[in-house]
């Protein structure tokens, strides 16, 4: 075997070893690429799943918030309707005929003791004195700046009883609001 053949054989073996090493590294690189590709896909899937869950959570929160806001708006509207209803009752009482007004005031006067003062707004002084006279009571009527559409305040040195229409409507509301709400808003 000549030196040239030995060199060729060594070069051939080196070339074969080189190809084997390149093949082995190519397989390792391919395995690493495959491993990282799987990890990337897994991480991508996890991130997408997490993003979807967060999106669904935000949608649920938005729905809950919208539902609460809607309920609050409906409740506010119902409250406004009730406010207007009781205000209309007060307005109605403030526009009673003299006959009807005297009937109501007479009922209030029946509940008053024999001694005390009747406090009224100036525009109701005469009609209140008329009711007191018709009841045969001797109660002084004092003009005052109470803000009232009708009625009066009975006052002694020890206590006051509020017979104003505003108090009457307030008491009426406290006693009937739930029942009125059920009637008005039963199906809402």
pLDDT digits 0-9 by tens, 158-175: 999 999 999 999 999 999
Residue 68: pLDDT band with limits 50, 70, 90: very high
Nearest-angstrom CA–CA distance, 89 and 135: 26
Domain boundaries, the chain: 1-95, 97-185
For position 6, what pLDDT does the model report? Answer: 81
Nearest-angstrom CA–CA distance, 124 and 93: 13
For position 49, what pLDDT does the model report? Answer: 92
Residue 25: pLDDT band with limits 50, 70, 90: confident
For position 187, what pLDDT does the model report? Answer: 67
Q: What 8-state DSSP symbol labels residue 149?
A: S
For position 11, what pLDDT does the model report? Answer: 85
The percent of residues in the chain predicted with pLDDT above 90, rounded, is: 69
| Residue 1: pLDDT over 90 | no
For position 134, what pLDDT does the model report? Answer: 92
Backbone angles phi, psi at 120, to 5 degrees: -140, 165
Model confidence, pTM: 0.67
Nearest-angstrom CA–CA distance, 171 and 29: 87
Q: What 8-state DSSP symbol labels residue 158?
A: S
Q: What 8-state DSSP symbol labels residue 11?
A: H
Q: What is the pLDDT of residues 77-136, one digit of tens each?
A: 999 999 999 999 999 999 999 999 999 999 999 999 989 999 999 999 999 999 999 998
We find that the CATH architecture of domain 97-185 is 2-Layer Sandwich (3.30)
- Report helix, strand or coil for 112: coil
For residue 103, which of 122, 131, 139, 140 has the smallest C-alpha distance? 131
DSSP bridge pairs for 142: 119
DSSP bridge pairs for 154: 118, 161
For position 80, what pLDDT does the model report? Answer: 94
């Amino acid at each position: 075997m000549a030196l040239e053949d030995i060199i060729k054989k060594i070069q051939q073996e080196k070339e074969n070893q080189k190809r084997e090493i390149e093949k082995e590294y190519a397989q390792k690189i391919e395995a690493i690429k495959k491993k990282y590709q799987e990890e990337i896909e897994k991480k991508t899937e996890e991130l997408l799943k997490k993003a979807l869950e967060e999106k669904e959570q935000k949608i649920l929160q938005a729905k809950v918030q919208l539902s609460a806001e809607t309920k609050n708006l409906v409740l506010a509207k119902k409250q406004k309707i009730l406010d207007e209803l009781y205000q209309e009752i007060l307005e109605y009482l403030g526009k009673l005929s003299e006959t009807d007004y005297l009937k109501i005031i007479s009922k209030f006067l029946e509940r008053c003791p024999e001694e005390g003062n009747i406090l009224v707004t100036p525009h109701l002084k005469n009609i209140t004195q008329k009711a007191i006279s018709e009841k045969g009571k001797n109660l002084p009527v004092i003009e005052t700046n109470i803000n009232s559409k009708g009625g009066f305040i009975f006052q002694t040195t020890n206590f006051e009883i509020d017979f104003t229409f505003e108090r009457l409507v307030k008491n009426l509301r406290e006693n009937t609001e739930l029942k009125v709400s059920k009637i008005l808003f039963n199906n809402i």
